[in-house]
Structure formats: structure tokens, C-alpha cells
Chains A and B, each alone.
Chain A
Amino acid sequence: MAESTEIRRPMRWHIAVFLAPAVLVYTAVMIVPLFGTLQLSLFSAEGQTRVFAGLDNFRTLFFDPRWAASFWNALWNNTWFFIIHMLVQNPIGVVLAALLSSPRLHFSAFYRTAIFIPTILSFVIVGFAWKLILSPLWGVAPNLLDLVGLKSLFTPWLGKEEYALTTLGLISVWQFVGIPMMLIYAALLSIPDEVIEAAECDGITGMAQFWKIKLPLILPSIGIISILTFVGNFNAFDLIYSAQGALAGPNFSTDILGTFLYRTFFGFQLQIGDPYMGSTIASMMFFIILAGVCLYLFAVQTRLRRYQF
């Protein structure tokens, strides 16, 4: 013990100076409000005063007929939104990345740049652009379907309860397919040539090579993409808000947790904003995302075998 105090250096202030700005801003603007929101969800307003309500808000959210229907509706819609991304966005991303990474493909930089363009656009642009294109007033979508003789299939997808959410999910897939594409592409590029050559020596080429050699090697990247998609989807708001408004029409069929939180917190039309119920919904989103991240970190990531080259 005596030795360790002897070699102990004087207080190194520069470490604190280097860390302080980032830690202060991050703590004050992100961590404290995050816990503040969790805390607020345990209170409710009685007249002008704030009273401790325990878990009453959560009980209201789950069981009170005025809230429960909207909450479960938003949660289910959000889950469906996530399922669409997992089933459509990530497979398309993998296919595009696999094609892009094929050796000596011409114009691959062009394809990469072009396919990534929707990802950099804001939700407002994407939401409105697709709203216009799918609008029955403007003939773009029906005209295009007419070219392939499928005009009869056209309906105002965004205006029909049964199609609206799926349509928005696919629009979001259109926008974000660039991210899985890029990450998988990077993972595929990092597979060393020796591994591929060894596979070729053993006569494994083409599709078999992809399924047996490359896919197992990029599984960790697919895991990361899945969790990023999960966090992004359960935090989504902008696209629905720009395309369908805060009421997430038609008849709340596109309502997800983000829009539900916004309406509850700020109020809309006849409903008055309620910061306490808003915090409760935000807390539920927090727990859902936390559960997803923990599941990923402890159950998925530890089982995926990582290969070091």
C-alpha cells in the first residue's frame, strides 16, 4: 500500500479539463432529462400541484379504456412497422451489398452513391414526396402501373386504413435501405481474400459461397443492423407526422409510439397536453428500447461468433 501511494502521481487536472465539457453537456441535456422524464411518469397533476402517483399512470395507460386502446394500437403498429423493416429492408440491403461487393463490378461507386441518396433526405421531404406520388389526384402512381398493365391495382394506399401503415413502412424502407447496404458492404469487403480463395479451391462458388462462407461471417453486422433498426423504429415519429399529421390517420391506423407521445404531451384538437402521461409513454418507449438493447447485448451478441482475421 505504501508503495502505491508513493508512485501515485499528482492530480492530473488536464484529464478533467478534457472530459468536462463533453460530460457536462451530455449529462445536463441528455442523462438528467432522461431520468427526469422517468421520474415525472410517477407523478400526476392535481389542480396546480404535482402529486406523487406511484405507478398509477402506467395503470391508466395499460387498463383505462380511454388510454389503453390507443396505447396498444400504437404499440402493435410500431411492432408491425419494425417487422416490415426486418423482413424487407434488411434482406434487400444484404442482396444489394452482396451484388455491390462482387469483384470487378463496374460503376459500383455510382450505384452506392445513388442508392444511399434517399437516406440523407429529411423525413419531411420523403413523406411529402411519396404522398404526392401516391396521390390519386396526381397521376404518377396510376400512370406507372398502367405502363405494366396493373392500373386496376391502384388505390389511394395512404388513405386506406388497411394499407396506410404498411405503405409508410415500405416508404421508410425505401429511405433507409442504404444503411444496411453500406454496413453489410463494409463487412463483406473486410472478409480476407484468402478465405474466399480457399473456398474456391474447395469448389464453393457463387450462391453456395455466399450462403456457406460469407453469410456466417457477416452475421455480427446483421445483428448490429437489427438492433439499430429496432431503436430507430421504436423512436420513429417524423415520417408519420409529415405524411399523415399528428393524428396519424386514417383513423389512427398509422399511429406509432412517437406520434402517440407527441399528441399526448402537446395535446391535439380537443385533447389538452399532459406532461405526466407524456412522460409515462416516453418511459414505456425507454423500457422497450432498453429491453431490446439488453436482449441484443446479452442474448444475441454473445452467441454470435466473431472471427478475427
Chain B
Amino acid sequence: MSTATSSLPRTIAAHAVLLAYTAIALFPVVVIVVNSFKSRNAIFRSPLSPPTTETFDLIGYTTVLRQGDFFLYFQNSFIVTVMSLFLVLLFGAMASFALSEYRFRGNSLMGLYLALGIMIPIRLGTVAILQLMVASGLVNTLTALILVYTAQGLPLAVFILSEFMKQVSDDLKNAGRIDGLSEYRIFFRLVLPLVRPAMATVAVFTMIPIWNDLWFPLILAPSEATKTVTLGAQLFIGQYVTNWNAVLAALSLAILPVLILYLIFSRQLIRGITSGAVK
């Protein structure tokens, strides 16, 4: 590369703009987390300063853990997210293998049908989904959420995974066939391990909206026993609006798990986006 594109003032300007925007992006998160560790007076007197030994206070966290059943909410969110993720990846990989591996009548029509859901949000069917869940007795169960999120995640999963399945070498699969492996074994033993990086990308894309969703937990499973973290935090904060310590602590508790997961998977996520899988 030539050096014409990177002169010093230009580089400094680029860093200045990026730093400024990074500050804007992180500032609200930092303010919330920092203040959640302070006493009520300090929160109001000096919201922008970090907690000192005098102003350090965990009262917010103790209130949250005493009042809200956050462990249960975490458990619910965890079950829903992991189960939906598992089903999306399994069913999505199976369907995309069928679409990319075999030629059969209606192949591209089926691909188009499954891709519809990328553009049309599942939320628009809520009225009928609720009726369906009422009719099948699934209201206020985690199963209802898992089913909805599986359906929601499948279109994008099939779309991305098909692209990757096409790249798996035919020679390998044919060698397997000559060795007498069944089509199922070829899929589970040969193809699945090879598309693992793509599966990880799909996993991250699928996971975040499920964990963060408020609409379906609010409508399909609002009972105490099935609340997810997002809904639990929403209701808790609504009740404790005036207790700033508790609200800030609840927000921080809701931020942390997603943040940790993101920092672990961010490289995967960014590589997934930049590899052109979602173009």
C-alpha cells in the first residue's frame, strides 16, 4: 500500500472522531454501572464521579436481590435462550443441508419460502400466535417462548448456513457415500463439524435478540414463574422507580451478562459480519 492515504493530521483526526463516538457509546453504560455502587446521596450530589470509600454502597444490589426473584428470571432467560438456540442451529443446519446438498423439485421455492421470515417480522402474527398458544395450553410456559424464538431464528439461520454448506467439498461427501455412510451420518459426522464457525456466527446473531426480547415474554409468558430477565427488569424498575439505588443496580445486573457474553464472542460476531455472510 502507498502512504498517500495516511498523513499524520488525518490519522489524528480519525482517532479524535472515533474516540469521541466511543465516549458517546459508552458514557450512558458507564454512568449507570458506576452510580449503582454509590449511596443515594452521592448518586444525586455528584453523578459523574466514581465511587469513593465514603460513597461506596451496595444497598441497591441487596434490594434487588431481596425483592426481585432475579435468579429465577436468569434461569428462565437462560433456558429459553439455550433451548431456542439449540433448536435453531439443529433444525436450521438440517434444512440448509437439504437445500444446498440435494437437487429436488421445489428446492429454490422452499429456500424462498424459508427466507420470507428474514424480512417479515414474526411479531405481526402475535394475535394469532397468542390464540394458538391459548388453544394448545402453552400460555405462560417457557415452551411457548422457545417455539416462537425457534421459528423467528430459523430463516436467517437457514439463509446463512446454506451459503456455508455449499462450500463443503463434494469429494469429501462422496467419499463418505462410497464408504457406505448414510446421508444422516454424512451430515452429522462430516458436514456439521466443518461448518462449526458458521454455526457460531449464527448462534451469536440468534442469541442477542432472544435474550433481549420484551414483546413475547410480555404477551405469552408474563407469569411470575416464567418471567425472563428482560421482562423482570422492566417490571421491577417500573415498581421501584423512586428507588434509584435499586433501579441502577437492576440495570447493571441486566447489562453485565450480555456484556460478558459479547466480550467473549465479539471476535466471532465481527468476523461473522465482516466475512460477508450477511450481505
Residues of A within 8 A of B (CB): 12, 14-15, 17-19, 21-23, 25-26, 28-37, 40, 92, 95-96, 99-100, 102-107, 109-118, 120-126, 128-130, 132-133, 137-140, 143-144, 174, 177, 182-183, 185-187, 189-190, 193, 197, 200, 205-206, 209, 220-221, 224, 227, 231, 235, 237-238, 241-242, 258, 261, 265-266, 275, 278-279, 282-283, 285-286, 289-290, 293
Distance A123 CA – B152 CA, assembled complex (angstroms): 18
Give 10 pairs: A residue, B residue, CB < 8 Å, sorted on A: A111-B19, A114-B25, A122-B211, A129-B31, A130-B28, A138-B244, A187-B279, A189-B274, A279-B128, A282-B125
Tell which of B1-9, B58-66, B166-174, B194-202 binds the partner: B1-9
A190 engages B276 (CB within 8 Å): yes
For residue B236, give the distance in angstroms from its CB to the closest CB of chain A: 10
For residue B130, give the distance in angstroms from its CB to the closest CB of chain A: 8
Residues of B within 8 A of A (CB): 1-2, 4-6, 10-11, 14-15, 17-19, 21-22, 24-26, 28-29, 31-32, 43-44, 47-48, 87, 90-92, 94-95, 97-99, 102, 104, 110, 114, 116-117, 119-129, 131-132, 147-148, 150-152, 154-155, 158, 182-184, 187, 208, 211-215, 219, 230, 233-234, 237, 244, 247-248, 251, 254-255, 258-259, 262-263, 266, 269-270, 273-276, 278-279
Distance A248 CA – B171 CA, assembled complex (angstroms): 59
A22 engages B5 (CB within 8 Å): no
A18-B187, A26-B114, A114-B25 known; A123 vs B128 contact (CB < 8 Å): no
A22 engages B119 (CB within 8 Å): no
Distance A130 CA – B48 CA, assembled complex (angstroms): 15
Closest to B24 in A: A174
Distance A275 CA – B126 CA, assembled complex (angstroms): 10
Partner of B147 from the list A29, A182, A190, A293 (CB cut-off 8 Å) is A29
